[in-house]
Amino acid sequence: MLNIRKLSANAEGFKAELEALLAWETVSNDSVNEIVKDVLKNVRERGDEALLEYTAKFDRLTLAKGSDLEIPKSELEAALKRIPQDQREGLELSAQRVKAYHEKQVMKSWSYTEDDGTFLGQQVTCLDRVGLYVPGGKAAYPSSVIMNAIPAKVAGVPELIMVVPTPDGEVNDMVLAAAAICGVDRVFTLGGAQAVAALAYGTETVPPVDKVVGPGNIFVATAKREVYGTVGIDMIAGPSEILVYCDGKTNPDWIAMDLFSQAEHDEDAQSILVTQDAEFAEKVYLSMNKLVKTLPREEIITKAITDRGAIIVVDNEDQAIEMINYIAPEHLELSVDEPKALLPKIKHAGAIFMGRYTAEALGDYCAGPNHVLPTSRTARFSSPLGVYDFQKRSSLIMCSAEGANMLGQVAGVLADGEGLQAHAASARYRVKD
Amino acid sequence: MLNIRKLSANAEGFKAELEALLAWETVSNDSVNEIVKDVLKNVRERGDEALLEYTAKFDRLTLAKGSDLEIPKSELEAALKRIPQDQREGLELSAQRVKAYHEKQVMKSWSYTEDDGTFLGQQVTCLDRVGLYVPGGKAAYPSSVIMNAIPAKVAGVPELIMVVPTPDGEVNDMVLAAAAICGVDRVFTLGGAQAVAALAYGTETVPPVDKVVGPGNIFVATAKREVYGTVGIDMIAGPSEILVYCDGKTNPDWIAMDLFSQAEHDEDAQSILVTQDAEFAEKVYLSMNKLVKTLPREEIITKAITDRGAIIVVDNEDQAIEMINYIAPEHLELSVDEPKALLPKIKHAGAIFMGRYTAEALGDYCAGPNHVLPTSRTARFSSPLGVYDFQKRSSLIMCSAEGANMLGQVAGVLADGEGLQAHAASARYRVKD
């Protein structure tokens, strides 16, 4: 039988147990840090030459010259033609729905003019060039290409550069097909810290970008942390998590499988069921035991459920909501009759899946919203990846002579108060005599 | 005579010289890192007791118990009554204008329903509790209280906690008055890494927050970097910079003083003049030499101008614009006749000050937009502090039975393609038989 924690929200010591369950500290690894720093330095100083060496070493792929690193667009189109029809249609539908959703996010410039003629506003622009990291090998996810590339393109980013390692020369057709569908501009066969270095600093072949996004292993994550400041980065995600809140009226098999769809990601993933129905909790547990055996990733699921899973029984809905807001889950399923009624009470969650039909997996692939979401309680202060991450704002200020006269006097007083006399003088030059 | 670099954009080696001039790498300091880690650990484990020890040691302020760390609201109101009338009016006008501007930034929730009944949207919420760090002593800036507190309050943050050290018990009345005006909820006399630790982890007296914002010295910046992930943080700013682009028709004294208003911040600050008028460049240089002697911060200004300042002569407006977009300045002054005509060409800048009357200093205090801006070329990918930093988004997905039927099939195909069978099964449970 699966060994999942069964907790009661009213039990003594529950809060401490919950805290321990949720605790996740990214372990920084000194030897990884050393290696990554070395790779970054090398690529920064030696450019393509270093890239070719690392690619030969880590991906066992020997290329003659820098330009061989580029996968031509014709290859992407060929991959798109090669994949099965249903996969192609699936990717296309996904891209189309993700685009439609993200188009609602586009920020627009605005401005207003005050009575004295002073003009204030905010100019919204997009990033010039963005780099998208896509993992290679087994964990190659075309859905991740769609979720990162589409918001950048909707924001208007003119140049989107993708890097994806092809270990032993092995190419993932679905990933290349997704790149073709999303309008990725250039693709390089690069992975690991060397790919992040190439994007951040640029080489003879790879142009430097302004922001690097996309998931990766610990070397990639460490490299992104290191180059942050030189370029922007997206969040560095922790393990994936789901909190399913169910009133006890959904098919327990469905709920069990929803919990497993997180647990199968990796052994650190977290799946939590919250319900006020203790009998239902037991039914889900039985379903889990029955279903786990049917899944190819049984081993990963079993470890994730044992180490980090939980079934929590609460007294009532209010207690469930309190728990949700405390946990601030990356994925929240509200498997209840009237999920919309709960929304005003839910303060912290990455994405909210409402009703019995809305499996979290639908959001991973094709519902429309992004699947890159804040993990490890960071939904308390951060948001899903979106068009916002590929746009930026510049403040606009244009004072009329009248406006500058008034504001100059005030700024002069406040600058004097802060002991900044050049500020005061600069402001007062604009005050009428 | 001031020793400022005079460069011509067409000179051989200009690009390399410009790059060297702009280069800014935050030096990470091992001994600071050690001290900060120790402080964080101590406060996390020992709470108030550690806070009282550090406050006695670093601020030479001995307090009997944790609750003595709190500065009561009555003290803030008393400070507001104590400061001179013109300062009070200045702070009030500033707060009011900053509020009016930031109210335009508030993000609203939205949603839409598709033909098959599937509901998609985005729910916008604010952070629950925010911590605002305010430096104490000489560099105590009430304007910084306004610029950080007002966007949080406009976003709707219910609890805004301010920390400000009071070295030797010395309180800055303008800072406390600004806190009163902005509606800061609680204030603690705490500074340094220990203040950041208290905000991030909470103690018996200080409640834990969800995000820490505000400027600070290297100990504060290092502590913020360390606690990032546990809480959100705002950007970690580099030295302040200004790029003034002038067509040669503004009073050279005004331009010289505008350049100094950045240079006086600290010795690493950067002031750059770009103009196509070589004669005007020389006039500004003469003004700088004349005016620097009139300023109490002459020494700081001289060092900043010598080490990091530049006067760059360009051929024409297009070359100036190209330079602006490359430099992506924190503050950009367009001291020209038709600044609005240039806006569509300007892609990267923190704040744009347009026209001869718009001294950058007006934006620092009271124009309305925020003075917390991206430095060191990061305006290529980041934005001024705003209401956005205190709001967050949750994706909303509610599939109808029809919608889940269609999306479940697609998600099934894509999940199979990625080798995630629990995802596929979870999606397919919602497909009609």
pLDDT tens for residues B278-312? 999 999 999 999 999 999 999 999 999 999 999 99
- Residue B6 has a CB neighbour count (10 Å cut-off) of 13
Residue type, B56: A
C-alpha closest to that of B36 among B228, B171, B209, B207: B228
Q: Which long-range contacts (CB under 8 A, 24 or more apart) does B68-75 make?
A: B69/B188, B69/B189, B69/B190, B69/B205, B69/B206, B70/B186, B70/B187, B70/B188, B70/B189, B70/B205, B71/B171, B71/B176, B71/B187, B71/B188, B71/B189, B73/B180, B75/B171, B75/B176, B75/B187
Q: What is the pLDDT of residue B73?
A: 96
CB–CB of A425 and B364 under 8 A?
A: no
**Average pLDDT over every residue of A65-85:** 97
Beta partners for residue A332, in sequence order: A243, A352
Cβ B357–A399 below 8 Å, yes or no?
Answer: yes
Pairing of strands A119-126, A110-113: antiparallel
Asked if residue A109 lies in contact with residue A123, where contact means CB atoms within 8 angstroms, the answer is yes
Nearest to B421 among A296, A395, A430 (CB): A296
CA B116 to chain centre: 44
A149 pLDDT band (50/70/90 cuts)? very high
Amino acid occupying residue B182: C
Question: Residue B432 corresponds to which tokens in the numbers above?
Answer: 């009609």
Phi then psi for residue A122, to 5 deg, are -145, 120
Give the nearest partner residue to A141 out of B263, B394, B418, using CB atoms.
Answer: B418
Q: From chain B, pick out residues whose CB is under 8 angstroms from the CB of A343.
A: 123, 396
What is the average pLDDT across A275-285? Answer: 98
Residue B348 assigned as binding residue: no
- Predicted local distance difference test score (pLDDT) of residue A140: 77
Instruction: Quote the CA–CA distance of A368 and A389 in Å, as a whole number.
Output: 17
> Which residues in chain B are classed under CATH 3.40.50.1980?
30-108+115-233, 238-381
Contacts of A91 in chain B (CB under 8 A): 414
Are B252 and B286 within 8 A, CB to CB? yes
Whether A384 and A373 have beta carbons less than 8 Å apart is answered as: yes
Kindly state the percentage of chain B with pLDDT values over 70: 99
- What's the pLDDT score for residue A113? 98
Provide the residue type at B30 as one letter: D
* pLDDT for residue B319: 97
Residues of A in contact with B273 (CB under 8 A): none
One CATH from 2.60.120.560, 3.40.50.1980, 3.40.630.30, 1.10.1040.10 for A238-381: 3.40.50.1980
pLDDT-derived band of residue B138, with 50, 70 and 90 as boundaries? low
β-pairing verdict for B241-246 and A110-113: unpaired
The CA distance from B205 to the nearest CA of chain A, in Å, is: 20
The pLDDT of residue A159 is above 80:
yes
How many Å apart are CA B356 and CA B229, to the nearest integer? 43
Distance between CA atoms of residues A366 and A323, nearest Å: 28
Percent of chain A whose predicted confidence (pLDDT) is above 70: 99
Active site residues of A: 330-331
- Note the pLDDT of residue B237: 82
DSSP 8-state symbol, B137 = G
Would you say residue B105 has pLDDT above 90? yes
CA distances from A227 to A197, B160, B224 (A): 8, 32, 18
| Higher per-residue confidence, A28 vs A197 | A197
Q: Which of B330, B333, B348, B371 is catalytic?
A: B330
- List the structure tokens of B305: 């101008």
Of B119, B123, B364, the CB nearest to A423: B364
SS3 B96: helix
Interface mutation target, options A259, A420, A431, chain B, most CBs of B under 10 Å = A420
First to last CA, chain B: 86
B265 labelled binding-site residue: yes
A410 contacts in chain B (CB < 8 Å): 89-90, 93-94, 365-366
Phi, psi of B234 (to 5 degrees): -80, -170
Helix locations, A309-400, DSSP H: 317-327, 339-342, 360-365
Which of chain B's residues have a Cβ under 8 Å away from the Cβ of A265? Answer: 420
CA gap B190, B55 in Å, rounded: 7
Contact A395 B425 (CB under 8 A): no
Contacts of B141 in chain A (CB under 8 A): 418
pLDDT value for A237 = 82
| Interface with A, mutate which of B111, B410, B432 (most A CBs under 10 A) | B410
Which residues from B are below 8 Å from A408, CB to CB? 359, 362
User: What does the alpha-carbon distance between residue A23 and residue B122 come to, in Å, rounded to a whole number?
Assistant: 28
Size of interface A-B (CB pairs under 8 A): 370
With 70 as the cut, is the pLDDT of residue B21 above it?
A: yes
Is the predicted pLDDT of residue B26 greater than 70, yes or no?
A: no
The answer to whether residues B143 and B115 touch, using CB atoms and an 8 Å cutoff, is no
* pLDDT the model gives residue B27: 65
- How many Å apart are CA B153 and CA B182, to the nearest integer? 8
- The answer to whether A369 touches A101, Cβ cutoff 8 Å, is yes
Model pLDDT, residue A27: 65
Among B86, B339, B423, the residue with its CB nearest the CB of A413 is B86
Per-residue pLDDT tens over the stretch B189-239: 999 999 999 999 999 999 999 999 999 989 999 999 899 989 999 988 889
* Residue in chain B nearest A212 by alpha carbon: B381
DSSP B208: P
Helix (H) or strand (E) segment spanning residue B223: helix B218-227
Closest alpha carbon within chain B to A371: B395
Contacts of A413 in chain B (CB under 8 A): 86-87, 90
Lowest mean pLDDT among A360-374, A389-403, A410-424, B27-41: B27-41
**A25 band by pLDDT with thresholds 50, 70 and 90:** confident
Residues of A in contact with B403 (CB under 8 A): 357
What is the average pLDDT across A166-179?
93
Annotated binding site of A for Zn(2+): 262, 265, 364, 423
Q: Which stretch of DSSP H or E encloses residue A23? A: none
Half-sphere exposure of B81 (CA within 13 A, CB side): 6
| pLDDT value of residue B339 | 98
Question: Apex CA A377: angle with CA A373 and CA A382, to 5°?
Answer: 50
What is the reported pLDDT for A26?
66
**Phi, psi (rounded to 5 degrees) for B392:** -150, 170
The length of chain B in residues reads 433
Contact A349, B394 (CB under 8 A): yes
pLDDT band at A433 (very low <50, low <70, confident <90, very high): confident
Counts of helices then strands in chain A (DSSP H, E): 17, 15
Mean pLDDT of B327-340: 98
| Mean pLDDT value across residues B178-194 | 98
Instruction: Please report which confidence band the pLDDT of residue A138 belongs to, taking 50, 70 and 90 as the band edges.
Output: low
Take residue A414 and report the two structure tokens written for it: 């406040």
To the nearest whole Å, the CA of B63 is away from the closest chain A CA by: 28
Cα A250 from Cα A256, distance rounded (Å) = 10
**A68: how many CB neighbours lie within 10 A of its CB?**
16
Closest by Cβ to B347, choosing from A86, A118, A125 = A125
Task: Calculate how close chain B gets to A65, using CA atoms only, in Å.
Answer: 27
Q: Quick check: B229 and A26 CB within 8 A?
A: yes
Give me chain B's average pLDDT, please.
96
Give the pLDDT confidence of B361-387 residue by residue, as tens digits.
Answer: 999 999 999 999 999 999 999 999 999
Residue B139 pLDDT greater than 90, yes or no: no
Q: Which residue in A90, A365, A384 is closest to B393 by CB distance?
A: A384
Residues that constitute the known binding site of A: 133, 194, 217, 240, 262, 265, 331, 364, 418, 423
Backbone angles phi, psi at B200, to 5 degrees: -75, -45
**Sign, Cα dihedral of A282, A288, A293, A299:** negative
Encoding tokens for residue A360? Answer: 């979290």
State how far residue B238 is from chain A, nearest Cα, in angstroms. Answer: 10
C-alpha distances out from residue A173 to A41, A141, A145, A177, Å: 32, 11, 12, 6
Which tens digits make up the pLDDT trace of A386-428? Answer: 999 999 999 999 999 999 999 999 999 999 999 999 999 999 9
Nearest residue in chain A measured CA to CA from B390: A381
Residue scoring higher pLDDT (A229 or A110): A110
Judge: B401–A264 Cβ closer than 8 Å, yes or no: no
Put simply, the answer to whether B396 touches A112 (Cβ < 8 Å) is: no
- The residue among A358, A370, A400, A428 with the most chain B CBs within 10 A of its CB, best to mutate, is A358
Chain-centre distance for alpha carbon B320:
26
Whether B331 sits among the annotated catalytic residues: the reply is yes
pLDDT at A129: 98
Under an 8 A CB cutoff, do B429 and A257 touch?
yes
Cβ atoms of A403 and A114 closer than 8 Å: yes
Residue type at position B252: P
Choices 1.10.3720.10, 3.30.360.10, 3.60.15.10, 3.40.50.1980: CATH for A30-108+115-233 = 3.40.50.1980
Name the residue facing A422 among B231, B301, B429 (closest C-beta): B301
B118 to chain A, closest Cα gap in Å = 9
| A11 Cα to chain B: minimum distance (Å) | 24
